[in-house]
Amino acid sequence: MSAAPIHKAFAYITHGQRLLVFRHVLAPEAGVQVPAGTLRDGEDPAEGALREALEETGLGDLHLAGYLGTVDHVPEGLGQVYRRHFLHLACGGEPPERWRHAEEDPSEGGPGPIPFEFFWAVLPDGVPPLAPGHDALLGMLLARLGLRAADEGGQP
């Protein structure tokens, strides 16, 4: 296994009681995801989450609402640790309900632009199944917002 983990920033972006999620237009098999990407050398996770969120979504009215935690993820067969930092970002203003935006400079090093289709999922129970690991700290986000999923007894 590689000695140094690869650091990733995951952004749970909320607007009221809604979570921003997206699909890859050209690769729907990638599943529904939240904005995320690789941190640059020496980049703070909060700065990275804000940068990645802006690059992927095109939304400019975002601010850090809190740090949720870190999860180490080792994809099967890769032997590489991905240290995932989960942050809560709040979206101000009146964002569109659905839109497409292309990431021009993908952090994975592949060719851009990569088009994404964004939409808001109502919390706590309207979030579709997310790509593996993207929901790792969704429960922490719900607790932070004072929400509980229906299988946990509904709203407090």
- The CATH class, in words, for 6-152 is alpha beta
Positive/negative CA dihedral, 130, 132, 133, 139: positive
- Of the candidates 11, 9, 8, 34, the one whose C-alpha atom is nearest the C-alpha of residue 90 is 11
**pLDDT for res 76:** 82
**pLDDT for res 71:** 98
How does pLDDT run across 11-26, given as a tens digit for each residue? 999 999 999 999 999 9
Relative to beta strand 82-91, strand 62-73 is antiparallel
- Of the candidates 150, 141, 1, the one whose C-alpha atom is nearest the C-alpha of residue 75 is 1
Instruction: Pick the most confident of 50-54, 109-113, 147-151.
Output: 50-54
CB 7 within 8 A of CB 38: yes
**pLDDT for res 2:** 53
Whole-prediction pTM value? 0.91
H/E segment holding residue 148: none
Residue 74 pLDDT more than 50?
yes
Q: Where are the domains of the chain?
A: 6-152
Q: Is 1 exposed, middle or buried (0-12, 13-18, 19+ CB in 10 A)?
A: exposed
**pLDDT for res 1:** 54
**pLDDT for res 151:** 66
Furthest C-alpha separation in the chain = 46
pLDDT class for 75, splitting at 50, 70, 90? confident
DSSP bridge partners of 116: 24, 101
How does pLDDT run across 99-129, given as a tens digit for each residue? 999 988 766 656 778 899 999 999 999 999 9
Dist. CA 71–CA 12, nearest whole Å: 14
